[in-house]
Chain A
Amino acid sequence: GAVVSQHPSWVICKSGTSVKIECRSLDFQATTMFWYRQFPKQSLMLMATSNEGSKATYEQGVEKDKFLINHASLTLSTLTVTSAHPEDSSFYICSARDLAGGRRNEQYFGPGTRLTVT
């Protein structure tokens, strides 16, 4: 149980285009999902907290107009990188929090999406 998927697993796009990444909780409901960014050989940096049915909460320094987050249902959150530039190339990882009582304090991570902007 507690499986999180991401789609696509990797994407290459041209500079100036937009890319959408999906994060799904497959076997549980997640009112809260998190989006992280990981640069090569570095740790995960939280970008934003996605709440179902409301606006996402962005971390300091993260441009909300560039990284659009939508959490339309209890099992799906999307991250759209708008007008992507090469510096946006990174590994994007989502996680989801299970509502179930015994697992409230855990996050379950997706496999990540590698974005390369050319």
Chain B
Amino acid sequence: AQSVTQLDSQVPVFEEAPVELRCNYSSSVSVYLFWYVQYPNQGLQLLLKYLSGSTLVKGINGFEAEFNKSQTSFHLRKPSVHISDTAEYFCAVSEGGVGFQKLVFGTGTRLLVSP
């Protein structure tokens, strides 16, 4: 079974500063990895995903993430954040391969961007 750990429950940062949100996973098989963003009282929006191929994945809103198999990590980064990036960010994993497996979510990281 897969599991996801997001060690940082909250990350405060100033506007225009870089940010990294950490995500580590555990799995005995190949995985697919996802980052979602959730704004207050809304559903989840996919930021980016890693299925295969290049380990550096670029997503929407200027975010990117790098899959590191040896460190079982999939950290999310943005070089310069905006106030509007304030939201909850969830890392998720599913089992890779043929067919579709359910998503397992981390506990989330709240990104707080201040002026």
The chain A residues found within 8 Å of chain B, CB to CB, are 4, 6, 32, 34, 41-44, 46, 49, 91, 93, 95, 97, 104-112, 114
Contacts and interface: CB of A to CB of B under 8 A. Distances in A.
Interface residues of B, number: 21
A32 B101 CA distance: 11
Interface of B: 32, 36, 41-46, 49, 51, 90, 94, 100, 102-108, 110
25 contacts: A4-B43, A34-B102, A34-B103, A43-B106, A43-B107, A44-B44, A44-B90, A44-B105, A46-B102, A46-B104, A49-B102, A95-B44, A105-B51, A105-B100, A106-B46, A106-B49, A107-B103, A109-B36, A109-B43, A110-B43, A111-B43, A112-B41, A112-B42, A112-B43, A114-B41
Contacts of A41: 108, 110
